[in-house]
Structure 1
Amino acid sequence: MRLPRRRPGGLTRWDVWSSPAPVLTIILIVELVAVGTLAASLRHGVGPLPSSWLLTLAVLVGAGIVSTEASLGVERVRRQSDETPHIDLSSVWTFAAAALLPAPLAVAVAVLIYSHIYARVWRRSGVPPHRALFSAATVVLAVEAAAAVMRLSEPTALFRTVGGLLTVLAALLVYAAVNMVLVVGVIVLSGPNRRFTSFLQVLAHGDDAVLEFATLSMGALAACAMASFGAAYALLVLPPLIVLHRTVLVRQLEEAASTDGKTGLLNAAAWHTQAGQALRRIEREGAHATVLVLDLDHFKQVNDQYGHLVGDQVLAAVAEAVRAEVRDGDLVGRFGGEEFVVLLPGLDGEEGHPGAEAVAERIRRRIRGLRVDIAAPVGQEVIDHLSVSIGGAMMPVDGTELTQLLEVADAAMYCAKHAGRNTVRMGLTGFPGPVGGHRPRRSPPRHP
């Protein structure tokens, strides 16, 4: 797993030096510990070497280089199209090295493979050296930890007994924990929400966790085949690994197609599709839900005064504020322009209504308190006094179809506008009179 890329610079201009103190401290500690543990293991000696250690090392490094070269185009597109952290599939070879070689030699495999990845992929994709160094340091620690666990079992029993299998599984878990926890910890500390819940949310990202364990499992199978039948059997892992690379890219591109590029939220079509599916499931279960429509007040003035680039920055800040006030399972999307939509499953009905309105009020207050720092010709400026008008519709009180709920929430939002803006109106009860006069909402675009 690696950190998102940033713009490179000279040694003294690396943006790592301007990182928050906790982030910089963790990065330096991780790198020093990686070097220190490697030096300590070298002082104690490599120990008895397997009979074919040189062939094993050469095959693992060669296989790592071949897999990188075979997936070069895919990996560059993958890294260039995604600024978020993602799983590095080279752990197939580094985990196999931890299982088959003494720790110093396994670290040598990792260093050689990651040096090649940096030269061929990371540097050309704009990954600065300090981020590559930190990513490599986390892998070194993961390899050393996994190798230490592997040594708890006799080499002859490692791939042949139930106890050996349990040792391999323990090493797999340790490798994943060390690598992912360190990287995710730095990412969370670098972000605006430095909370333990944010750490758990990023760490428990389902697809990434599954991919990490799948990759490490392939590494365990490669090690087992090499130990049982010979080093050349590692080559059998190459075809499925290359296919896995391409499968991951397809999934990543699908996610990009459903994401709004300015805010990172679901785009209109993706939100409409997922919200419709969720409402049908909620209706079958006899449960409740609330749809919120949010519209930034006087947003055109921001674009007119500061330009559209600053307007995009404000939209991103508002999107982050909305995400911070809803649950993980709630659907948040950008419906176009300065409009946002939220689906809140389980917050509706006579008892649930105050809960949904409370969420809307929290969003309104958070946006009202936003301060967005922007670069101006005369220095830094702050955009504040933002506000939002929010309308809500409750299922089944205001309808059971998504289109109905959007119409009611849209009308309620316009009532909030007419009531002076920076306010919340919920459902048909939020209208001072008969529903009417509001702009009908266009159906969102659908995927072809």
Structure 2
Amino acid sequence: MAIVLLVEVLAVGILVAPLRDGIGPLPESWVLTLGVLVAAGIISTEASLGVERVRQKSSDESPHIDLSSVWAFAAAVLLPGALASAVALAIYGHLYARVWRHSGVPPYRAFFSTATVVLAVEAAAGVTELVAPEALFHSIAGLGAVVLALLAYAAVNMVLVVGVIVLSGPNRDLATFRQMLFCGDEAVLEFATLSMGALAAGAMAALGPAYAVLVLPPLIVLHRTVLVRQLEEEASVDGKTGLLNAAAWHARAGRALRRAEREGGHATALVLDLDHFKLVNDRYGHLVGDQVLAAVADAVRAEVREGDVVGRFGGEEFVVLLPGVVGEDGRAVAAAVAERIRKRIDSMCVDVLDGPVPLMINHLTVSIGGATFPRDGADLGRLLEVADTAMYAAKRAGRNTVRMGMHAVPNGPMVPRPTPYRRT
């Protein structure tokens, strides 16, 4: 990919430039500062070796925030850019040898990740050099420079990593990029890690490099806390679609419904079932079917709000809770959301990999049933029962349609519908 090559070439160029132009004026005790930062980075990795290996293996198609950026950012604040990049290279080289290689991370990914860190370090160092070193931790201007350096580091690193993840994935659009960049806990963890780096730099500048040791205990605890959160999140997520699994959806939707009940609000449950999906698995295999399910999950997510609760119940069945759909028109609003989902899936063309032969799955359709709270039921179980009945009413009406409520359509024979999945 061109952007990956460009990032790597730019990082190499920045590393080589000081050999020609020189590093410039060096701060006092720079050798000790450099050595302490490299040693602290190696010690923190070794102390959390098992945790980091589990975290690395568990992370998949999302930015992996390794906590070594504490020391890389501290180096960017305390040292010239060239020396700070040397610290980053030493720390991340050790990280690859001890964590990434054992977790199956290919060398090209490790090289790109290190290149993004080098660019982020250089950007942060360039900002802090705008303020005199003696004023960096003793003035409002210095505080502003550190904050701007933190933002520059985070922007360069996160934008490059998230950009490559999005460009290499199935949904190459701005909405996906924005969601991965700003939503979720990864951005919060990045800023928390960089803030620890700023505090470490301040302590080392004011009290001496040896005070970096005080950052190690909270950093090791943070490693373990992040792992627990990551494992809890994985336990609630469906591996094929990235949506909530059935148990997690029930728990979260139940909380949302109880909140609506306390506040006198409304909500709508939607049950979605892909039509004739078994034929996809039978004709092309379950691996292709899994890719189609993931594409459908993305389509559903794109048509609902951030606070709506979306999950996969298993097989080809999905479920959505829309809290806050209020008033007499609540059913119409929910039906409009369901209709948007239906139309989006009906217009999908899913390009999937099936060995050397390109494969496109199109003419996917979905039947959707809905039920509103409190009109159709006073608890989540009853809502799902009514929505499921309405979904089967949509099947009987010919599939690829939406039905809402307990009396969606009268019972009748199911109308057959062609299933033109095709290979191209």
Same-fold call, TM cutoff 0.5: yes
Of 221, 242, 250, which aligns to 2:228?
250
1:98-177 to 2 correspondence within 5 Å?
98-177=76-155
Q: TM-score, normalised by structure 2?
A: 0.91
Of 63, 75, 85, which aligns to 2:40?
63
SS of the aligned residue for 2:105 comes to coil
Deviation string 1:254-304 (CA, Å, 9 cap, x unpaired) is 001001112211000100110111122223333332110011222233333
Which residue number corresponds to residue 27 of structure 1? 4
Which residue number corresponds to residue 318 of structure 1? 296
Q: Determine if contact 1:42/1:104 at 8 Å carries over to the other structure.
A: no
What's the C-alpha RMSD, in Å, of the aligned pairs? 2.1
1:286-435 to 2 correspondence within 5 Å?
286-374=264-352, 379-432=357-410
Shift of 1:81: 1.4
Which residue number corresponds to residue 224 of structure 1? 202
Shift of 1:121: 1.4
Shift of 1:416: 0.8
Of 68, 73, 81, which aligns to 1:95?
73
Shift of 1:143: 0.6
Which residue number corresponds to residue 45 of structure 1? 22
Cα distance in structure 2, aligned partners of 1:208 and 1:151: 28
Shift of 1:202: 1.0
Shift of 1:40: 4.2
Q: Could you say if the C-alpha distance between residues 379 and 187 of structure 1 is closer, same or farther in structure 2, counting changes exceeding 3 Å?
A: closer
Shift of 1:345: 2.2
Deviation string 1:141-173 (CA, Å, 9 cap, x unpaired) is 111111111112221121222322222112111
Q: Determine if contact 2:73/2:194 at 8 Å carries over to the other structure.
A: yes
1:248-287 to 2 correspondence within 5 Å?
248-287=226-265
SS of the aligned residue for 1:425 comes to strand
Q: Could you say if the C-alpha distance between residues 37 and 291 of structure 1 is closer, same or farther in structure 2, counting changes exceeding 3 Å?
A: same
Q: Determine if contact 1:348/1:356 at 8 Å carries over to the other structure.
A: no
Shift of 1:140: 0.9
SS of the aligned residue for 1:276 comes to helix
Please say if 1:199 is aligned against 2:174.
no
Shift of 1:49: 1.5
Q: Could you say if the C-alpha distance between residues 99 and 375 of structure 1 is closer, same or farther in structure 2, counting changes exceeding 3 Å?
A: closer
Q: Which ranges of structure 2 fall in alignment gaps of 5 or more residues?
A: 413-424
- The amino acid across from 1:291 in the alignment is A
Deviation string 1:178-225 (CA, Å, 9 cap, x unpaired) is 111121122222233333222221111241122111111111111111
Which residue number corresponds to residue 187 of structure 1? 165
Q: Could you say if the C-alpha distance between residues 334 and 70 of structure 1 is closer, same or farther in structure 2, counting changes exceeding 3 Å?
A: same
Cα distance in structure 2, aligned partners of 1:78 and 1:322: 29
Q: Identity of counterpart residues, as a percentage? A: 72
Q: Determine if contact 1:372/1:382 at 8 Å carries over to the other structure.
A: yes
Cα distance in structure 1, aligned partners of 2:385 and 2:105: 46
- The amino acid across from 1:193 in the alignment is N
Q: Determine if contact 1:290/1:348 at 8 Å carries over to the other structure.
A: no
- The amino acid across from 2:5 in the alignment is L
